[in-house]
Chains A and B, each alone.
Chain A
């Protein structure tokens, strides 16, 4: 059974800092891994999708890496802004018949002006 752990659970940083969010998962047999953002009381917005054959993906100030063999992914946010404040969820996509996403608990980020 896939288990996903995200560290830290919460993070508060001043505006402008570069930061790293960590995700680890127990079953390396995955198709891909997605990082999502969730604002309070809202749905999930996909940030990055990394296929199992890829090492990293970049979108603007966001860069996500994947080390499938060690069961780790990181999300790097450059030059953080107050608008980045949200909960960030990591979800590896299992390669079983159902191919479902399993979510971590998330990292809640606060970027202070």
Chain B
């Protein structure tokens, strides 16, 4: 089945140690998004790629970066994780920016 796959499901990292979260898709969608969802809060958009064009939200901290080496893969890099970055990170795709989104299962990040 075509889908959005996030790895790993659970990630534990040390305070200040760089970490990378991965997202892949078999839908061949043009747009890929990264959302951050803290406990009991709504998902919040960090950034998205429309093809190779990167779009950062104005309030996304500089500590968060992203790479999209090809259509299928997108990575979220957290350069120096703090305790406040512990959250569920959700990857989503859409065929066009105006279409419905398909989400992955998420990566739960714990910072110790």
Contacts and interface: CB of A to CB of B under 8 A. Distances in A.
A103 B43 contact: yes
A79 interface: no
B68 interface: no
A76 interface: no
Contact of A44 (B45, B90, B108): B90
Given A98-B48, A98-B55, A105-B41, A46 B100 contact: yes
Interface residues on B, range: 20 to 34
Interface of B: 6, 33, 41-45, 48, 55, 88, 90, 92, 97-98, 100-106, 108
B98 A104 contact: no
Interface residues on A, range: 20 to 34
A36 B42 contact: no
Interface of A: 4, 31-32, 34, 36, 41-46, 49, 89, 91, 93, 95, 98-106
A83 to B, nearest CB: 18
B5 to A, nearest CB: 11
A101 B42 CA distance: 11
Contacts, number: 54
Contacts of B105: 42-43
30 contacts: A4-B42, A34-B100, A34-B101, A36-B103, A42-B105, A42-B106, A43-B90, A43-B103, A43-B104, A43-B105, A44-B43, A44-B90, A44-B103, A45-B103, A46-B100, A46-B101, A49-B100, A93-B98, A93-B100, A98-B48, A98-B55, A99-B97, A100-B45, A100-B97, A101-B45, A101-B92, A101-B101, A103-B42, A103-B44, A105-B41
A46 B92 CA distance: 11
